[in-house]
Amino acid sequence: MLLRRTAAAAAQRSSWLPPWRTILPHVGPARPYSATTSTSSPHRQRLRTPQVTDSSLTTTAAPRPFPDYSPPRPDSPADDALASRLAAALLASPSPGSLPHLPFIPLRPLHLLLALPLLASHPNLTSLLVPLLLLFPSRPHPHPQLIQCFAIAAHLAVREPGTARAILVRALRFPSPHRHFVEQFIFTYKAFSSDPASFDLLLLCLPSAQLLRRLRQYGLSPSPESCNAVLSRLPLDEAVALFRELPDKNVCSHNILLKALLSAGRLKDARQHFDEMSSPPDVVTYGTMVHGYCDCGELENAVKLLDEMAAKGLESNATVYTSVIALLCNKGQVSDALRVVEDMTMHGVVLDAVVFTTVMSGFCSKGDLAAARRLFEEMQKRGLAADGVTYTALINGLCRAGELKEADRVLQEMVDKGLDVDVVTYTALIDGYCKRGNMVEAFRVHNEMVRRRVAPNVVTYTALSDGLCKQGDVRAANELLHEMCNKGLELNVYTYNSLINGLCKFGNLEQAMRIMTEMEAAGLRPDVYTYTTLIDTLCKSGEFDRAHSMLQEM
């Protein structure tokens, strides 16, 4: 078994030697991060502590008092009477199902506003609120009193967060600006809730730094969860500023900021923040940093963090290791990646389908199809369901090995199992047939793909065009590219190169030169492959001056 150590090998270990020690034996103990090891550009902006302004969350000014609620006045005695009848009928209502049978003329929001304060004693008030609000049809410009009804209803439902969130979500879908609802929510808070959880729910539905700062002015301290919901939605610069202002930060807050910094390519700033964290890092923190290092190709720093995490006794998971395994596979170190997987198994880390798929892809890229198949079989034995990505990796490997019929069978197995076969999977098989010169089968798969309503993309058309060009059918390839343009797809450098290569291969140099001109007119810059193909053809045609001129143009 690929994933099984011998008993003798296991017995040699008296304590756990982290798997990366066998990959990077020269790596010493974790040491403070040096900025010189980062791939971050020296010109990148450093992480700055923003100025704390009067509007910040740490303001020491006295809290503003919440406004006193003033109930609306009935337009006439009839309105007051109707509201009283509505409240009495609702109090006697056994369930929300009886609402449609209430014997009233079409209600106005005013009637509900007048009735809501009388319903506080209703045992099923929360379950009545949503269907009650649905009695009022949605309008492009909702009446301010209807907006107030939703605000009061959300406050009354605060002890049942699911219902309260449903009301908030519906209210925030009104075409009117969100600030109108926020004003009503604040205006009605003192009379109908006085439970700060109302604003936590509002922040989860409307994550806004401006709203968070405003609530702090009223002396409220939103929960870390709602603050983090806001933090996770902000652009990086705003997230950094807000993070510095938050009085109560937890490890999740740090993780959100680390992810934002790494997504912006600011690895150096992320490491600085990691070293200065006020909360102890957890598995997610380490996993985020490991992923960031692996994205930059810094394997040594990634495995140092894994070593540090193990030394702290934090239990890792497959997700943390997957980034390292993927980087090893991309570097061609598939055997090392497999050793990491083996040690994960030995020490109780549960493997998932992503780990198997990553290593399978690595073996397929190296042409070791037998090892990829064994992994696929062991994955199935473990009861892990292969998804479209797993099958596509196997199909790619089979196509590279020339086992196209088997690849076709695997694709059909996907269909039989009800898995979604996407454009990537179909294109992998089409490309395999094209590279083997079997255009009949390539177009058969293409037609099946279209019949199943999977739209070909630029890569699909490029594979077909390249296959046609290699067979000398440049005219058909050209027609295919026109079809592609008519469908609104933009040709890329690879598409043009396949056509230029096909024209050059069959001696149609002048047309190849015209295609290059079209390529430049389309805003695409010829690459080394484009120039090399044309220069080689010019030299073979004895046109050395033109070849030399093109070489200088490069």
**DSSP assignment letter at 97:** G
Predicted pLDDT at 23: 52
φ/ψ of residue 318, rounded to 5 = -60, -30
Q: Which residues touch 34 (CB under 8 Å, ≥6 apart)?
A: none
The Cα angle at residue 122 between residues 116 and 126, in degrees rounded to 5: 75
Q: How far apart are CA 199 and CA 356, in angstroms?
A: 44
Q: In this structure, which amino acid lies at residue 310?
A: A
Question: Could you tell me if 222 and 200 are in contact, meaning their C-beta atoms sit under 8 angstroms apart?
Answer: yes
Distance of CA 327 to the CA centre of its chain: 20
Do 385 and 413 touch, CB atoms closer than 8 A?
Answer: no
- Long-range contacts formed by 452-455: CB under 8 A, 24+ apart: 452/421, 454/421, 454/422, 454/423, 454/426, 455/423
Are residues 171 and 208 in contact, defined by beta-carbon separation less than 8 angstroms?
no
pTM tops 0.85: no
Give start and end residues of each alpha helix (H) in 134-246. Answer: 144-156, 161-172, 178-192, 197-205, 209-217, 224-231, 236-245
What pLDDT sits at residue 266?
96
Using N-to-C axis directions, what is the helix angle for 474-486 and 458-470, rounded to 10°?
170
Closest among 442, 452, 518 to 485, alpha carbons compared: 518
Q: Which token pair is 379?
A: 């994955």
As to burial, measured by CB atoms within 10 angstroms (0-12 exposed, 13-18 middle, 19+ buried), residue 462 is buried
pLDDT digit string (tens) for 15-35?
Answer: 434 444 445 444 444 434 333
Q: Helix, strand, coil: what percent of the chain each, to 5?
A: 65, 0, 35
Q: Which residue reads 């005695």 in tokens?
A: 77
* Contact assessment for residue 377 and residue 352, using Cβ atoms and an 8 Å cutoff: no
Blockwise average pLDDT, block size 10, the chain, 554 residues: 39 41 45 38 34 44 81 84 82 61 69 82 77 75 89 91 92 87 93 88 93 91 92 94 90 96 96 94 96 94 91 88 93 91 84 94 92 92 91 93 94 92 95 94 95 93 91 87 86 88 86 89 90 90 86 83
What is the average pLDDT score of the chain?
A: 84
Task: Return d(Cα 478, Cα 469) in angstroms, integer.
Answer: 9
DSSP letter at 107 equals P
Per-residue pLDDT tens digits for 70-120: 888 888 888 888 888 888 877 776 565 555 555 555 678 888 888 888 777
Supply 364's token pair: 């397929």
Residue 466 CB partners (closer than 8 Å, separation 6+): 434, 477, 498, 501, 502
- Candidates 335, 397, 331, 326; CA nearest to 355 is 326
